[in-house]
Amino acid sequence: MLKFEKQAEEKVLSELYRLFELLNKQFYGGELTTPTITISSSKMYSNAINFCQTKKILNDDRSDDAFLYKMTINAELFNRSTDEAISGFMHEMSHLYNLQHGVMDTVAYGIYHNSKFRDVALTHGLCVERDNRRGWAYTHLSEVAKNFINSIHIDEGALRLSFSYTRSDRKNSGKLGNSQKYQCPECGMV
C-alpha cells in the first residue's frame, strides 16, 4: 500500500509541475520562479479547503540570493472538481507572484486577502469574489483560463487523488491518532 501511495503522490506532483509550467507561461509570461511543490495531509487548516501556502525558504548554500519558493497544497484540494483544484492552484500562483515582487497581499495571518491580491488574481486568469471575513479570497477560473485549461489536456485522474482521514488506535498509548491513506478514484485501490 505504501508503494501505491508514493506513486499516486508522484503522479499528482508531476502533473502539478507540468501545470505550473504551462500556466506560468500563459498567464505570467514565464516570470514565476518554479517553487518546490508539496502536498500536505495536515488538518491544521481544515477550515480552508483550498489551503495552500507559498513562502520563501532558505537554500542550503546560504548566499543572499539563496531563497527558493515553496508551495504547500492541502490534499483536500484533490477532493474537489478539476476546475476547483486548478483554481486553487492558480490562486497560490497569484500569491507567489506577489511574494516574488515583495507585495503584501494578505493580513490577519494570511486569512484576509486585500485588493493587491485581487488585482494580481484578476490579471492572471482568475475571477475574484469578496467576503467580509476573508476579503478577496474566493477565486474561480475566468473564461479565458477555462478555455486554456481545456486546450492543454489535463490529466484529471492525477488531480482527483482521494485523500481521506481515518481514526485509529495507537497501541499502548491510549491516544487516538490520525492516519492517512490515498485511494484511487477510478479503481478504489488503497
Give the sheet arrangement for strand 135-141, strand by strand: 106-107, 112-113, 135-141, 126-131
Q: What is the model's pLDDT at position 188?
A: 47
Q: What is the model's pLDDT at position 114?
A: 95
Q: What is the model's pLDDT at position 38?
A: 83
Instruction: Output the pTM of the full model.
Output: 0.76
Question: What is the C-alpha to C-alpha distance for residues 138 and 136, in angstroms, rounded to an integer?
Answer: 6
Mean pLDDT per 10-residue interval, the chain, length 190 residues: 53 92 98 88 53 60 66 80 91 92 87 94 97 92 97 85 45 39 44
Q: What is the model's pLDDT at position 94?
A: 95
Domain spans of the chain?
A: 2-183
C-alpha angle with apex 78: 152 to 122, nearest 5 degrees?
60
Q: What is the model's pLDDT at position 3?
A: 32
